[in-house]
Structure 1
Amino acid sequence: MRGGKILTEIEISDSSSRIKAVFYNQPFLKNVFKKGEFFSFSGKIVQKKGYFYLQHPVFEKIPKIPHFNLLHTGKIIPIYPETKGITTKWIREKISLVLKNEIWRAREFLPEKILKKLNLVPLKEAILKIHFPETKEDIKISRFRFAFEELFLLEIEVLREKLKVKKKRAYPLKIQVEAIKEFIKSLPFELTESQKKETWRMLKEMEKSVPMNRLLQGDVGSGKTLVATILALNCAKNNYQSAMIAPTEILAAQHYRKIFRMLEPFEKRIGILTKGYSEFAGKKLKKEEMIKKIKEGGVKILIGTHSLF
């Protein structure tokens, strides 16, 4: 015992040299290692007081059978996330067993054309190489295969959703050119070319009889809310309702005050509805009154949080 720790030392030798291995707080190992038996060790070599030794190495017994493959040592080994009572070594053993008996069940789903074009390894080979690679190149090509696979499946799902949207119907909204021009003129700044381009593109898409499904991306302060405000104004002038959803009540309140102030000369039928607050056209309302006004179509532009749903 040293420093409160139980040390177990064993001497390892082969045909060329010998070295000691040190284990901490594992006294049961004295019953594991038997003189004359063969083991494979892997670990950090430490030098202390002029001596070299293996510090708490990973080991596995080499049975006296032909063609035995090492699982935990002597090659690149996977390290898995651990939890209490379940070690990487245990997980590695179970995965090895599963792959040995069940890998045949893996069915390739990527088209052969894509596999050849991108030089992707087949599914079974990728699974084996990611868990038990023989070289660093095996890790690289299998990770690439799974990264592509993840993006490929995501893109397929996106395309499926687009097809679903195209099958739905929407109310075509005529572009209220004059109302929009007047609103833009009232702004204390001029729209950027990008804002003009994307606003017009979305207005044209809202003229169609299928729902618009778009993501407007931009930095903070780039004018995304302004573009949404123009679209909401166009919707209101067509006598339809629109809703803007903010992630928090504070942000919803900020949007409401800003949008109401900008649109007041052109459209006053604007309201906010959150879990704790409701207001319409600058006047506070009870939540029940607000909901009734929304259902009757009196609120044309509604701002709120996820609680709207």
Structure 2
Amino acid sequence: MERTSPITELKNVGEQRAKKLQRMGIETIGDLLEHYPRDYKDRSRLTKIADLSETDENTFLARVKGEGQTGRRGRLTFTRLQVFDDTDEITLLWYNQPYMKTALKSGEVYLFTGRMQKKYNRREIVSPEYESIKDNFAGGRIVPVYPSVDGISQKMLRSYLEEALKQVSGTLTEELPLWIRKKYHLAEKNFAQTNIHFPRTEEAFYDARRRLVFEEFFLLQTALFSLREELLGRGSGIVMEHPEAIDEFQKSLPFSMTNAQKKVLSEIAADMTSGKIMSRLVQGDVGSGKTAVAMAAAYWAIQNGYQAVLMAPTEVLAEQHGKSFTELFAPLGIEVALLTGSMKAKEKREALAKIADGTAQMIVGTHAVIQKGVEYHKIGLVITDEQHRFGVRQRSMLAEKGENPHVLVMTATPIPRTLALILYGDLDISIIDELPP
């Protein structure tokens, strides 16, 4: 059995159960192995029946006493079973599960888990979880709790995982180079995969988790760097001339830019004159002046004969940006076009015509700017406002509307630099760390 094997190759997974597992995104053995627990229950500490608690969940070993008794309470049927250890005995109770009368064998020992309650001067546990105890039983264990759907119990999921891990034991491919594992003291893959599901100890769980978290970030980062190399390999970027246009634009502003804004602008200018395609994230708090920086870059691209386009996540934001750009660009002789999904047909036709023939030099809109039918005259700069995280794909779709345009991404989300490298690994990062007075 391999990671790519269909889930139906597992014992007791028929067509109906396979459909329910698919609802959880589990179609292969690999999907099942990566269906990680959302919580754990520590059942490694065993309690005697005489010491069972009403306030906590208890795990205890007990032997079945005789056969289960069935009865009825109104519409409910019940099955009652007595179990005992060397300190006391207790009643186990199941409702509408008549098969429990014979499910547990008289004289056999089982590991039970449940919450005790006192009723009519009788101690009982309703619907306890249980598992058969073999001769080599060495104590309780830490038990995983999984995200699930109706019809797939925790017990089923655990049994499927146990079987899958047994089948692939020792065969899981190691994605991380040995030198990285040694450098960061990371557990081996097969150990990690087993102990994330069924940790032998608390320490084994943390070792497994650390290894799998590291691997996930490592693979994501590698993929993003690979994507970045691919983007850089698409060809030469547009070399923008007349950098003095940035100073001209700053003079037209009704305020002075902060040193942090000027620093980021110099980084953008270096990118846009380098001959490579700029892919830069500008991060800064609300009010730090990211939009003014984007405007300066857009003005510069327009002075070089190119169009600039800004994509915002909502119509409200697109309209706000459209108004801001128009107020500053119109007096400078630059026409701004707004493009959103809710525009009337006539307005949209007019906007599309101006975008296609180059009359509109600055285009502001929602995701409508990347839809089919939107033709640009000559895009030089693509700006996205990441307020709800446009993905790499959406940024790429917008960039593909032109021939290797520069890409600028704005975000107000305060992201630690290390995390930003993971979320935006395909971008260089600039930070506006100063607010205007």
Verify same fold: TM over 0.5: yes
Work out the CA distance in 2 between the residues paired with 1:3 and 1:224: 69
Q: 1:142 aligns with which of 189, 208, 221?
A: 208
CA contact (8 A) 1:175 1:203 kept: no
> For residues 202 and 116 of structure 1, what CA distance do their matches in structure 2 show?
39
Q: How does 1:1-309 map to 2 (within 5 A)?
A: 1-2=72-73, 5-48=76-119, 51-62=122-133, 66-67=135-136, 74-167=140-233, 168-177=235-244, 179-277=245-343, 286-309=347-370
> In 2 relative to 1, CA 176–117 (structure 1 residues): closer, same or farther, beyond 3 Å?
closer
> Hey, what's the Cα distance between the residues in 1 that align with 2:242 and 2:76?
79
Deviation at 1:264, TM superposition (A): 2.1
Number of corresponding residues: 298
Corresponding residue SS for 1:157: helix
* Paired amino acid for 2:78: L
Larger helix fraction of residues: 1
Stretches of structure 2 that go unaligned for 5 or more consecutive residues are 1-71, 371-437
Higher RCO by CA contacts (8 Å cutoff, separation 6 or greater): 2
1:230 Cα deviation from its structure 2 partner: 0.5
Which moved further from structure 2: 12-21 or 118-127? 12-21
Report Cα offsets for 1:253-302 as digits up to 9, x if no partner: 22111111112222423222223438xxxxx9743343333233332211
In the superposition, the TM-score normalised over structure 2's length comes to 0.63
Stretches of structure 1 that go unaligned for 5 or more consecutive residues are: 279-283
By how many angstroms is 1:133 displaced?
0.9
Quote the Cα distance in structure 1 between the aligned partners of 2:169 and 2:83.
Answer: 37
CA distance in 1, matches of 2:146, 2:138: 20
Q: CA deviation at 1:169?
A: 1.6
Q: How much has 1:153 moved relative to structure 2?
A: 0.9
The structure-2 alpha-carbon separation of the partners of 1:198 and 1:3, relative to structure 1 and needing over 3 Å to count, comes to farther
CA distance in 1, matches of 2:124, 2:343: 70
Letter matched to residue 369 of structure 2: L
Q: Considering fraction of residues, name the structure with more strand.
A: 2
1:13 maps to a residue whose letter is F
Q: Quote the offset at 1:29 in angstroms.
A: 1.0
Question: Helix, strand or coil for the counterpart of 2:353?
Answer: helix
* Contact 1:175–1:207, Cα closer than 8 Å, also in 2: no
Counterparts of 1:163 and 1:53 in 2: how far apart (Å)? 64
Query: Bigger radius of gyration, 1 or 2?
Result: 1
How large is the Cα RMSD of the aligned pairs? 2.4
